C-alpha cells in the first residue's frame, strides 16, 4: 500500500505541474479540439457511405485527432517536463531520496494515462454531441487496449527522447521535430487514397500511423465483428519496447549543463 500511495502522490504531483503550465494545457487539452473544429469547418460534415450505413465525415477525423491528443499527453509532456526537471536539478534531488526510480516513472506515466482518458472524453464527447460521431459500442474493449498500449509506448518514447535533449530550451524543438513531419504521413491530419508509396512506407514504419489506425477501428461502422488490430498493436508495442530500452540505458538524472 505504501508504494501505491507513492505512485498516486507522484501522479498528482505530475498533474499539478501540468496544470500550472499554460502552454502544456493549451497544446494538450485545447489544440486537439481546435483541430477537430477547424477540419469539420473546412471539409464539412456531410453524410457519406452506402445507403443505410451513412456516417458523418467527422467520424474520419476523430481517430486522428485522438491520436494527436494522446501523443501530446504522453510523448510531448514526458519529454519536455522531464528535461525541465532534470536541468533544474529536481531529478537529482529526487534521486537522493529513498523513493525508488520506478515509482517516479510509474507516477509520471500514470499522470499521462489520466490526461489521455480526459482527452478521450473531450474529443469523443465533442465529436458525438456537436458533429454526430458515433462510437461502435462493440469496439470499446479495442479502444481501451489501444489507449493503454499507446500511453505506455509513447510515454516510454518520450523518456527516450530526453536522452538526446541537451537543455530545456531544446526539448520542445526536438520533440516537435520528431512528430510533426510524421503526422502528415500517418493519416492524422488528412487521409489520402493515392498517397505516394514512399510516403506510405514512412508512415508504416513509425507508430503514429498505427495508433491512428487502431483508434480508427473503434469508429468504423463498416467493420465486421470485434475489431482486433493486432498488427497495429504489435508495431506500437515494439516501438514502446525500443523506447523503454533506450531510456533504461541512457536516461540521465543529473543536469547536462
**What is the rounded radius of gyration, in angstroms, for the C-alpha atoms of the chain?**
19
CA distance 188 to 64: 4
Predicted local confidence at residue 55, as pLDDT = 73
CA distance 44 to 9: 44
Q: How far is CA 194 from CA 41, 49, 185, 187, 199, in A?
A: 24, 19, 12, 12, 10
251: left (phi over 0), alpha (psi -120 to 50) or beta: beta
pLDDT in tens, the chain (257 residues): 577 787 888 888 888 877 788 878 888 888 899 998 988 888 777 776 666 666 777 888 888 899 999 999 999 999 998 999 899 888 888 888 887 888 888 888 889 999 999 999 999 899 888 888 877 777 888 899 999 999 999 999 999 999 999 988 899 999 999 999 999 888 888 776 677 788 888 889 999 999 999 998 888 776 666 778 889 999 999 999 999 999 999 998 888 77
Burial environment of residue 194 by CB neighbours within 10 A (0 to 12, 13 to 18, 19 or more): exposed
Predicted local confidence at residue 54, as pLDDT = 67
Predicted local confidence at residue 151, as pLDDT = 94
Give the H or E element holding residue 216. Answer: helix 207-219
CA distance 175 to 145: 25
And the C-alpha cell for 181? 513531419
Q: How far is CA 199 from CA 39, 125, 183, in A?
A: 22, 32, 11
Contact between 53 and 134 (Cβ < 8 Å): no
Predicted local confidence at residue 131, as pLDDT = 84
Which residues, at least 6 apart from 94, have a Cβ–Cβ distance to it below 8 Å?
A: 104, 253
Q: Is the pTM of this model over 0.85?
A: yes
Amino acid at each position: 500500500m505504501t508504494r501505491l500511495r507513492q505512485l498516486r502522490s507522484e501522479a498528482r504531483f505530475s498533474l499539478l505541474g501540468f496544470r500550472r503550465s499554460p502552454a502544456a494545457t493549451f497544446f494538450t487539452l485545447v489544440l486537439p479540439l481546435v483541430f477537430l473544429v477547424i477540419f469539420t469547418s473546412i471539409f464539412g460534415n456531410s453524410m457519406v457511405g452506402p445507403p443505410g450505413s451513412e456516417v458523418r465525415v467527422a467520424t474520419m477525423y476523430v481517430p486522428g485527432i485522438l491520436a494527436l491528443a494522446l501523443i501530446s499527453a504522453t510523448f510531448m509532456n514526458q519529454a519536455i517536463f522531464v528535461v525541465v526537471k532534470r536541468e533544474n536539478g529536481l531529478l537529482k534531488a529526487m534521486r537522493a531520496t529513498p523513493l525508488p526510480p520506478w515509482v517516479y516513472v510509474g507516477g509520471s506515466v500514470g499522470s499521462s494515462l489520466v490526461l489521455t482518458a480526459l482527452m478521450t472524453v473531450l474529443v469523443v464527447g465533442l465529436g458525438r454531441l456537436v458533429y454526430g460521431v458515433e462510437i461502435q459500442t462493440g469496439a470499446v474493449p479495442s479502444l481501451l487496449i489501444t489507449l493503454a498500449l499507446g500511453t505506455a509506448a509513447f510515454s516510454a518514447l518520450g523518456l527516450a527522447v530526453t536522452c538526446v535533449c541537451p537543455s530545456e530550451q531544446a526539448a520542445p524543438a526536438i520533440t516537435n521535430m520528431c512528430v510533426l513531419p510524421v503526422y502528415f504521413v500517418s493519416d492524422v491530419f488528412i487521409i489520402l487514397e493515392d498517397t505516394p508509396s514512399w510516403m506510405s512506407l514512412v508512415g508504416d514504419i513509425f507508430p503514429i500511423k498505427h495508433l491512428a489506425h487502431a483508434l480508427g477501428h473503434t469508429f468504423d461502422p463498416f467493420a465486421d465483428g470485434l475489431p482486433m488490430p493486432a498488427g497495429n498493436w504489435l508495431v506500437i508495442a515494439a516501438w514502446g519496447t525500443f523506447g523503454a530500452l533506450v531510456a533504461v540505458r541512457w536516461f540521465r538524472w543529473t543536469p547536462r549543463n
